[in-house]
């Protein structure tokens, strides 16, 4: 049953509109269906205009599917001498279709040069709005988790700092998983990001970053808590904080993984 618009308060109407935008509504629908192929009715005394025959127009291949997107990303990534240059290269890269639907490029947060670098999954709504990885409830949980072993983003000492980023710099529509083509298009940037940040230890949180960094189809359930090696670094797969919020019973596994990381750093 629909609610008459006049019965809504301004606050309720705004909340309803925000919800429609969030679920992907981008066009107003009338009560009755509209036949878009029906020619417009002629005014009295006029002859109806001839109906134009549709002409096929070539459609451009989406950037994420272009075979040269990964090669271009590789060229731009390798040419970046530092993190600022890499961020500019990512923001100027048009080879991934995800960029067109995102509000912001989510690059990194925390202290460059920190011993521990965390790679998360694709940005969610909060991260897209703020342009920072690991914000909102999942970010708050992440901060509490690592603070428990003496690590935090704002630490002045790199030995106690965290540097965090995402496997993909743009939010996929409706928080869907990035496609293989989208991930391949931005993977060179992630590899260069890790090389320039030069952490001592890499933590991959979630299935997507584990697959991207480790280049394996093995599921996170089998990988988590077990040290791996990739990109010349020790890599520890862990459960993403968002998963822990949905399944609190897994927090004991996350605590065991944090202790594994702490042992490695001492």
With b for 16 or more beta-carbon neighbours within 10 A and e for fewer, the 22-36 pattern comes to eeeeeeeeeeeeeee
* Residue 239 in this model has a pLDDT that exceeds 60: yes
- Measure the CA–CA gap between 84 and 183, rounded to whole angstroms: 22
Instruction: Assign domain 63-265 to a CATH class.
Output: alpha beta
Provide the terminal-to-terminal Cα distance of the chain, rounded to the nearest Å.
61
**Between vectors from CA 189 to CA 163 and to CA 99, what angle results, nearest 5°?**
100
Q: Which of 50-54, 177-181, 242-246, 258-262 has the lowest mean pLDDT?
A: 50-54
Average pLDDT over residues 65-75: 83
Find where tokens 């590789």 sit.
74
Q: What is the pLDDT of residues 202-218, one digit of tens each?
A: 999 999 999 999 999 89
pLDDT band at 20 (very low <50, low <70, confident <90, very high): low
Of 159 and 82, the one with more pLDDT? 82
pLDDT attached to residue 1: 46
β 228-230/233-238 pair status: antiparallel
pTM, two decimal places: 0.74
* Residue 18 in this model has a pLDDT that exceeds 90: no
Find where tokens 């269906």 sit.
33
> Which two tokens mark 50?
């001839």
Where helices occur in the chain by DSSP H, the ranges are 10-22, 69-79, 83-91, 98-101, 125-130, 136-147, 180-197, 207-214, 220-223, 241-246, 251-265
pLDDT attached to residue 13: 64
pLDDT band at 65 (very low <50, low <70, confident <90, very high): very low
pLDDT attached to residue 54: 44
β 116-120/162-166 pair status: parallel
Average pLDDT over residues 54-68: 46
pLDDT band at 57 (very low <50, low <70, confident <90, very high): very low
Helix (H, G, I), strand (E, B) or coil at 162: strand
């Amino acid at each position: 049953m629909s609610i008459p618009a006049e019965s809504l308060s301004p606050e309720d109407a705004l909340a309803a509109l925000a919800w429609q935008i969030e679920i992907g509504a981008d066009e107003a629908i009338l009560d009755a269906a509209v036949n878009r192929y029906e020619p417009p009715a002629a005014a009295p005394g006029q002859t109806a205009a001839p109906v134009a025959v549709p002409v096929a127009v070539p459609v451009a291949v989406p950037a994420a599917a272009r075979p040269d997107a990964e090669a271009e990303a590789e060229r731009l990534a390798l040419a970046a001498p530092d993190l600022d240059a890499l961020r500019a290269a990512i923001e100027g890269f048009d080879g991934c279709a995800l960029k067109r639907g995102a509000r912001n490029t989510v690059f990194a947060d925390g202290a460059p040069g920190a011993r521990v670098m965390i790679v998360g999954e694709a940005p969610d709504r909060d991260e897209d709005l703020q342009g920072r990885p690991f914000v909102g409830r999942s970010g708050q949980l992440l901060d509490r988790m690592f603070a428990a072993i003496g690590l935090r983003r704002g630490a002045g000492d790199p030995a106690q700092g965290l540097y965090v980023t995402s496997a993909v710099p743009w939010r996929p529509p409706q928080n869907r998983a990035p496609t293989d083509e989208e991930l391949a298009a931005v993977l060179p940037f992630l590899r260069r990001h890790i090389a320039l940040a030069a952490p001592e230890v890499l933590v991959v949180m979630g299935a997507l970053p584990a697959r991207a960094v480790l280049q394996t189809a093995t599921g996170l359930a089998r990988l988590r808590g077990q040290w791996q090696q990739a990109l010349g670094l020790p890599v520890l797969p862990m459960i993403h904080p968002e998963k822990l919020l949905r399944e609190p019973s897994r927090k004991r596994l996350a605590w065991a993984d944090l202790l594994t990381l702490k042992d490695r750093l001492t």
